[in-house]
Amino acid sequence: MSLSNEPVLQLFALSSAVVVVTLYGLGFATAKKRADRKLVINPEDVAVNSGAKVGDGEHPDVLRIKRAHLNGIENAVPFFVLGFLFTMTDPSLTLARVLFGTFVGIRVLHAVFYLSAKQPFRTASFAVGAIVNLVLLEEVVRHAV
């Protein structure tokens, strides 16, 4: 199996890359918000955050981003595993485009909805991503047994 001549695997690689970029974006957003709020939890971080003070806990705005980030990780890990296994089931490129494209788009939207506190869109986007992972799971299991 070669990435260069397997369209479904190429699509999975690109989809995974977008998910990783989204996760890094949330990580950088956490650091930026922490710097903006001038509140750090590690004393050594004062040296790289001018004017910051050490606190016992995170600022609520930082916690929101961290929860979005954690939710993203919790959904990305199953996608990475199931999506990769799915590529080995010889799926149609159309089905892979629908599943991978839906997951990536909805996870980007979920991050936006989480950061902007938009309900019920946040919950709906989570549900759609979970359904995609369940479909991937079903496809993998069906081909494995």
Query: For the chain, how many structural domains are there in total?
Result: 1
The fraction of the chain above a pLDDT of 90, given in percent, is 88
Cα 135–137–139 angle (5° rounding)? 70
What is the residue range of 116's domain?
A: 3-144
pLDDT tens-digit profile of 69-87? 999 999 999 999 999 999 9
The residue among 114 and 48 whose pLDDT is bigger is 114
Close Cβ partners of 31 (under 8 Å, ≥ 6 residues apart): none
Distance CA 132, CA 99 (A): 6
- Which helix (H) or strand (E) is 126 found in, with range? helix 121-144
Q: What is the pLDDT, as a whole number, of residue 127?
A: 98
Please tell me whether the overall predicted TM-score, pTM, comes out greater than 0.85 for this model: yes
pLDDT of residue 49: 85
CATH of the domain at 111: 1.20.120.550
